[in-house]
Structure formats: structure tokens, C-alpha cells
Structure 1
Amino acid sequence: MVELGDHEFSRKVFAPFHRRAIIPLITANEDVPTDTSGNLPNLHNVQGDVFQFPKKVEAFIFFRINDVSDFKKALSSFVPTTAAEVVEHLKAICKEKLGNNQKLPIIFQQIAFTRAGLNLLGLTEKTGDGRFDVFCMRDNKTMLGDRMQWDKVFDKPGFDPIHGTANVDRGALHGVVVIAACDPEKVQEGVKAASELFSETIDIREVIEGKTRPGEMDGHEHFGYMDGISQPAMRGLICPCPGQTEVDVGVLITGYEGDPVRENRPTWGKDGTFMVFKKLEQDVPGFNEYKLKNGPRWREFVPPVLVEPSQTLTDEESSELFGARLFGRFQSGAPLPLCPVFDDPELAKDKNRNNNFDYSITGIPEPTDKFCPFTAHMRKVNPRNLGPYLDKKFIESSSILRTGIPFGDELPAQTPRGLLFVCYQSNLDSGFVRQTVGFANNVYFPPTSLVPQRHRQDSIISGPDEPYSVFLKLSNGEGPTIAIEGQATTQPSTTNAPGVPPQFFITSRGGEYFFVPSVSTLNVISGNT
């Protein structure tokens, strides 16, 4: 186990990664953390993206298996990057002072399978995750709030939102190979090598590639906001920064403290994680126009105590403030609770300050949206200080690790662009589904009193509120009965910015649920035991 003084040591070793959301916790002699008590996973047995592959480019190879026997033989030669190797590579980058990752000649790779894929490979025992074992993501499309047409690769035929089709092979994806590197040539090399390794044993349905944005926009998604700041830190494995949420290892990696179905995992299910992939298309011109149009309304939503009566904001300042009210942070990453009116890029760069906040305000005992709207994206999906309405442990259990990457070209190119969203958790319902359905799309979240208060959905990743269907029959007991059928809406309890009505600029193009097995389980599948 690590020693008490190792947190500061880790921060110094990984100082070049000032933007990196999670920093591995290593001992003073630079060892990868080990634990013989069984409370922590062996990082050599965990596939590595749960520790965030260092990358500038990433490719996702979605496939179906054609020949099971030959696929298993090919899998025996596939060498996934482990979490331990990710730590070692990060240390190597820092020692060579290559904090921008650009010169690291390493290809990172991992493989994951759908429920149908595991069945085909002979792992038919339930994983213990009730959603993964029953539903593919296409079954959950409506539940997740996706209303637009999905890309063909994810639009599984014969979907069933009631009974699920995760175990129905027709039209299902079987798996995905993830290739990441610090330059496009290395990724293409990795894609070619994986394609040649599995060759005729698989049918590649699509290869989707993402890349970080150029120059100063590195680390920012296409709307311009710094991404991946508020990541959870696994206790005993990740060095937490001030204010960063710490979670039990089992919240992200199966089979450990914090895994809600730890006792129901099959032997081969330990040291794995569930991966969610979603392709999210972003309307950047529309979003920018929305900010410019609504920025001048800033006095409607900035508390008077924060500005002088004679205070003025430039068009750029008011536009960026309006955008910050949508996200909860300015584009730099500076959080509204600490910077409620003006951006502070220096604070945003400081990992000891940029996450060290909650949403409370001195003198206001109850939850308040004065500085940051309840509907702001970061406040919806990463809630803080909700006691007594939500237990801290429940909030921790809802954490996911996000490792997505932008896709598409920069403006003014007239091609689709957006985010290849990827997240990891030990249980889909506790993580991704809860954050999407229970938090982001839930107009009553976060809870702010003993009586449910209606706020609206997440300002960024959700869509227009669903109207409530009503059917009333009216009669005075004497004349004919009058039937009224239609839609009913309720007025939100708050009118904080942004917009009445709000507009939305992200369209889901589909995705899938995958299980990322341990290295030892891959060896069992392939016969390398």
C-alpha cells in the first residue's frame, strides 16, 4: 500500500500533466501501487483506459465475430495495455519532460465485448449487471432521451425496450477494439495491426476516429469548454486534488468495495469495468449564436450583489457568462461557484483550486442557484453537498470516469463534429444510466427541499422537457360526459438562466454498452491459461 506522504510525491512526479483529471498514486520509490489484502485490484490485470490512455488520436473498431474458434486464437496474440502500463508510460512522459504527449511512440489498446459477444465466446453466465445482461443501448434509446435517428452501426433491428435484446444476436455488435496514441500515424498503425490480427475472424462494421482539438484548444470539446475536469479519484489508486470526489475502487472496477453487485459477479467478472460509448453530434454555430443572442440578458440572472449598478459587460463577456451558466464552468474550466461573473483562467489551471468548491453560499442555509443554476451541466451530473436530501455515499456511487475525445474538423468545415463520449463504471444503472435518466433528464433533480421542486433538464446534454399526457372526463352527473385529451406542462420553480424556453444543441447518434474484461479473463477466453 502507499504511504501517507505519497500524495505530494505523485503531484510532483506528474506535474507536467496540469490538465490531467486523474493522477496515479505511486509510492516514493515510484512503484505502481500494490496491495496484498485484496482490497485493491492488481493493475497488471486491469485493461488500462480506466486510468485514461494518454492520447491525441483514438479509434474505435466496432465488429461482429465471424469465426469463434479462429477469433479466440487471434485473441491469444492481442496484447491489451494494462493500467500498470499506463502508469509507467505517464512516468516516462514526465521523466522525458514530454507533458504534451506528442512524442510518445506508444500505441495503447484494449478490447471490450457486448453481452451478445460474451455469449458467443462462451461466457454465458450473467455478469451481475441487470441492465447489461438484458438490454443493449438501442433498447434504451427512448428511456435515455434520444429522439433523433441513430447511425446504422448502432441502430439494432428488432429492439425491445420492455424485454431487452442484449441476448439476441441478430444485428448486434459483438465488440470494440480501442486504439489510442499521440499521433495519427500510430493510431493508423494500431488499427491496421488489429485488423490484420483478427482478419477474417471478424466483420468490421465501422471504425470511428476522434482527435483532440489543435493548439490552445487541446483538452476542450467543440463548444470550447475544458473537458474532463471533475473526475472521480479511486481511493488508494488515484492521487486526489482538493475538492475532487473520492470513490471506492469498486465504483469503477468490478469486484471490490463499492461495487453494488460485488457478491453476484462470476469469477471471470472481477477486475473488469463496463464501458459506455455514445456518439454525440454538436451544433457549434447554433450554440455560439444562442450565447450571443442571450448574453445581453445577463442582468436577469446575475445576483445584484455581485455587480455594481453601473457595471457593464462587453458582448464577449456576457456571451461567455451565459455559456458558463449552461455548463457551470467558463470555457477555461473556471467554475461558476468560484467565478460567478468573470472568467479566471489562472484559477482554472490550478488543480488545487479549480475543483475545490461546493454550491453553498454563506448566509443561505438551503441549496441555492444564485451563483450556479441547478440546471447547469456540471451541477446536474456531478452533484455536491446535497445533504440531507442525498447521502454523500449515494453521490459517490453515481460516479463515472469519462475518457471521451472530440471528433470532426474545426469550423468552418461543413462536416459533423462532436464528442465520442466514453465512460467507465462497475454498474450501468448506478453510473451512466443514473446520471443520464435520474440526474440530467430529471426535471426534479437536484433535490433542493423536502417538497420536490421542478427545475428543468440538464442545459447541455438533455432535450426539451417531455410534456405530460392527460386524459380527463368531466361530467355533472346529468348531461353528457366531456372527454379532454392533450398535453400538460408545469412551470419550473426557478427561472435562472438560460433561456425561456431553453434550446439544445447536442444530438445523440447512438452507442452501445460493453464489458471490458480483465487480462486474465481474456486469457481464459483465448486459451492462454
Structure 2
Amino acid sequence: MKLELDDIQNGALQPRPVPYAGAYILLRVDDRRAGRELLRRLIPNLADATHPADPAAQTWVSTALTFQGLKALGVPQASLDSFPIAFQQGMAARAAMLGDVGEDAPEHWESPLGRPEVHIAISAISPDTAHLEAVLAPAREALKRLPGVEAIWRLDCHVPADLRNPFGFKDGISNPGIEGSGRPGTNPQEAPIKAGEFFLGYPNEVGELSPTPVPEAFGRNGTYLAVVKYHTRVAAFRQYLRASASGPEDEGRLAAKIVGRWPSGAPLALAPERDDPELGADRRRNDDFLYAAEDPRGLRCPMGSHARRMNPRDSSIIGVARIHRVLRRGTAYGPMLPADVMEDDGVDRGIVFVFVGADLERQFEFVKKEWVNDGLFIGARGEKDPMIGPNDGTGQFTIPQEPIRQRLKGLPAFVTNRGGEYFFAPGLRALRWLADLDT
């Protein structure tokens, strides 16, 4: 089955250029007719997924809406009621269930993230800042002439040429192939995932169609986005490694065990003893591995490491990993903390994670609750993701090794949730239907 690429927004499917500059802009709609007019003006500037893969052409704009945004545009109640409960409630209302409590709770989120006035999101991607501002120009012009729509938040972001995230590790390496998309996955040993896991209107991994909203246009080629802004505590990460390691070389080993890869991107599954920058840079090899045959006990890559939790591959776990796969788009914001700095400089730096999937509860929420916040699925109940889990200084991380396993104790939180939201990224036909509403 082929995907209808000409109806799918490019930003939901297309891999990002490397390097790139980007921006996320949130809008509030005070007048529904002005909101619809904004969509009419945006649609000609939205690239579909037939967009060429040539990096010189990889400049595009995408848009998505919250449930409150659909209401603000005047979508009929019958249509609103047909959306999944998780999307209707929004991320903030489900925060406690997702483990976002304490300093991660919505009352501490950056305004306006998680609030009802967030209606429309616009994201722009470009290989450089100059092209980014050019591609945003039509949106800026449209907003100037539409007093009923207001931009209420903007975050500029980037991915450097070496793909390093604020912790200094190469990121964004692994993503699944999608059946019918014509785009291969990064792991040649992983069969493509059914299109219905990511886009509405197609069979999923269990041979069913995910529940689809009405009208018909909404039920085809759209997808859901879970967007989270994570502030990274890079200095705290470095301090913990230094306090836990026997020396500088051991610091690097412990960091790799926590992440599941070396800073170059070389996976522990293929380079268990030391970093291999040549392997890390090789896109044909740096994701070409499984776990079950070569590393069933986690002696190379710990079962509880961040990378193995987020993508267990063929590991022996409780559950079926393929039905919880998501497309993950990670984008850094803020400047890097210099390599030799051990104290926090007070600068906001971090990662914006965008998780793309057709079922918020079975994909994003399941992964966060079960794989990030708990370790039952790998036989380590109570152990959280050591990198992005809600650790509070009392947790632990197990590193299998012979003859005696190693346990890191007293894990603090290395990231803080600064806020997020659930969005619906409609297909282009559905966006036209929205723009033409007359309610």
C-alpha cells in the first residue's frame, strides 16, 4: 500500500537536513474567521511529502493544531467529539499519569506551554538561518494583517553538522522505515513498520485502522504530535559521572552505558569497549544491529540504557516493541556548555522532542509511562531511564558485567520538563476543509 504523499505534510515524514536551523511558533486564535484566513494563506507554503530529498531544497513550513485550536476555529462539535480522549484533554491534563509531577508538573511549565490559549503551531526547517527567515516571511506577513490571530511564543532551535545534542552525544540516528513511504529506515535489519502506526487511514501493525476523527478528510493522512521541551542539566550530568567514575576514561564509559551509544554515535552493541568515530559517522552501519543474538543480557549495551529503552529492537521484553514505535525528531536549543565547564552557567539549553504517531496513548504515552518511567518491561521494576527519566536522587541504574554487575545509585534528574502539548497535523486536504469552514 502506497502512502498518499501529496496529502501528507512534509514535516511529519521527511528527515531533516543536516545541519539545519528551525523555529517553533505558537499562535492564539481570537477570531475564528481570522484563524481560517491564516490557514488559507499558509497552505500554499506548506510542502507535501513528495518534497525532494535534495538538501538544497530542504526548506519547509508545517502546521498543526491543538484540540483547543480546533475549537477556536469553529470545528463542529460532532467532529470534536470524534477525536481521541488523550488529544481532547491535552498533555497538561494528563501530566500526573505521565509522571510529570514535582518540578516537572504543569504549574512549573514555561508559559504558554500546556495552556488553553495554545491553538496553532507553525514549524519551519531550513539548512541555515537566512533561508529560515525567508521561509517564515509569508507567515509573518499573514499575521500582520490578521488582528484576530496572535503569535504568543517562539523557540529557535538547531541541529549542528555533527548532530550532537547538549550532552555532547550524536542524536537523531535511528528512525523506522514506513511501509509505502519509499523512505528506508536507518536499520536494514528492521522490517518497515506499517503506515497505520504513523498516519491515519492505513492498516497498523495489528492489521487494523486506528480510530479516525470525522469528517473523512480528518481520517486520512493526518497524524498526532507530542511536543515536549526538555531543559538539560549538562553540568549535573558531568558532575555525576565524575563522582561515580574511577577516572576520566571511566567517565566516558559510564556516560556511554547510560546513553547506549558513544559520543560519536557508535552503538555499544557494535563497539562495546571504546568509541569508534568512523563507525559513528557511517550511516550505513551505525544503526545496523539487533540485540537478541549478540547482547541478550545487556553486557554490551545495558537493557536499561536510554537508547535501548527507547528502541528495544528484538530484545526479550514484556510486550511487542513494534506497536510502540514512533518517529522521533529531536532538536537542540540554546548554546552548548563548553566541554571543560563543570558548573551550571544558568543558560537555558535543551532539546525539543517531537514524537510522531497515529495513537498518542499506545505510542507516546506508553513509551513514557512504561519504558521511560519504569523498568518492569526489562525486569528491573523501579529503574527509570537514566538519561531522561524522572529521577530524584534515589534511583539506580544497573550495568550488567562479569563477574559482578555495577550499580549506579543516587541518580538525579538530568532533564526538566519545561512544557509540552499534543497536536494534530492534518493532511493538506483536511487543512483546506478547515480553512473553508463557515460556522
Deviations 1:146-178 (A, max 9, x none): 23221021153xxxxxxxxxxxxxx33111011
Q: Choose the corresponding residue for 1:268, options 185, 192, 217.
A: 217
Q: What does residue 462 of structure 1 align with?
A: 389
- Cα distance per residue 1:110-130 (max 9 Å; x no partner): 110001111232334147553
Cα deviation for residue 105 of structure 1 reads 6.6
Contact 1:245 1:396 survives alignment (8 Å): no
Q: Distance in 2 between matches of 1:493 and 1:462?
A: 17
- 2:113 — aligned with what? 154
Query: Which residue of structure 2 lines up, in the alignment, with residue 356 of structure 1?
Result: 288
Aligned with residue 297 of structure 2, among 368, 379, 383 = 368
Alignment partner of 1:439: what SS?
A: helix
Q: Does 1:337 align with 2:337?
A: no
User: Does the alignment pair 1:69 with 2:36?
Assistant: no
Q: How does 1:126-525 map to 2 (within 5 A)?
A: 126=80, 130-146=84-100, 147-148=102-103, 149-156=108-115, 171-199=116-144, 200-213=147-160, 218-237=162-181, 238-240=183-185, 241-244=187-190, 246-258=192-204, 261-262=209-210, 264-266=212-214, 267-269=216-218, 270-296=220-246, 315-360=247-292, 367-387=296-316, 389-390=318-319, 394-412=320-338, 414-446=346-378, 448=379, 453-454=380-381, 456-464=383-391, 497=406, 499-525=408-434
Residue in structure 1 matched with residue 342 of structure 2 by the alignment: none
Helix, strand or coil at the partner of 1:256: coil
Larger deviation, residues 378-387 vs 225-234: 378-387
Q: Which 4+ runs in 1 deviate beyond 6 A?
A: 489-495
Q: Which among 29, 47, 55 is matched to residue 9 of structure 2?
A: 47
Q: Aligned to 2:72, which of 109, 113, 120?
A: 120
Of the candidates 54, 63, 68, which is equivalent to residue 111 of structure 1?
Answer: 63
Q: Distance in 2 between matches of 1:247 and 1:106?
A: 25
The answer on whether the counterparts of 2:399 and 2:406 sit within 8 Å (CA) in structure 1 is: no
Q: Distance in 2 between matches of 1:395 and 1:129?
A: 25
Structure 1 unpaired stretches of 5+: 1-38, 94-103, 157-170, 297-314, 468-488
Distance in 2 (alpha carbons) for counterparts of 1:528 and 1:80: 20
Deviation (angstroms), 1:257: 1.3
Q: How far 1:254 moved relative to its partner?
A: 1.2
Provide the secondary structure at the position in 1 that maps to 2:152.
strand
Q: Give me the whole-angstrom Cα distance separating, in 2, the residues matched to 1:418 and 1:466.
A: 20
What is the CA–CA distance in structure 2 between the aligned matches of 1:329 and 1:204, rounded to whole Å?
39
Deviates more, 1:253-262 or 1:401-410: 253-262
TM-score where L is the length of structure 1: 0.71
Determine the C-alpha separation between the residues in 1 that align with 2:39 and 2:201: 24
The alpha carbon displacement at 1:389 in A equals 4.1
SS in structure 2 at match of 1:224 = coil
The answer on whether the counterparts of 2:330 and 2:352 sit within 8 Å (CA) in structure 1 is yes
Say what the alpha-carbon RMSD is for the aligned residues: 2.8
AA matched with 2:149: I
Residues 1:498 and 1:122: Cα distance change in structure 2 (over 3 Å): farther
The whole-number CA distance in structure 2 between the counterparts of 1:242 and 1:492 is: 29
Amino-acid identity (%): 25
Q: Report which of the two structures shows the higher radius of gyration computed on alpha carbons.
A: 1
SS in structure 1 of the partner of residue 275 of structure 2:
coil
Q: Which residue of 2 aligns with 1:167?
A: none
1:228–1:56 Cα change, 3 Å: same
Relative to structure 1, the CA distance from residue 245 to residue 317 in structure 2 (aligned partners, 3 Å threshold; closer, same or farther) is farther
SS in 1 for 2:138: helix
* Residues 105, 441 of structure 1: alpha-carbon distance in 2 compared, 3 angstrom cutoff: same
Q: For 1:195-248, what per-residue CA distance to the aligned partner results, in whole angstroms no more than 9, with x for missing partners?
A: 3213323121111111123x6xx3111101111112111023222342346211
TM-score by length of 2: 0.85
Q: How far has the Cα of 1:388 moved from its partner?
A: 7.5
Q: In structure 1, what is the Cα distance between the partners aligned to 2:149 and 2:405?
A: 51
Letter in 2 for 1:456: E
Please tell me whether the aligned partners of residues 327 and 377 of structure 1 are also in contact (alpha carbons under 8 angstroms): yes
**AA matched with 1:52:** P
Local SS of the residue matching 2:41: coil
Whole-angstrom distance in 2 between the partners of 1:388 and 1:491: 17
- AA partner of residue 175 (structure 2): Q
Residues matched between the structures, number? 411
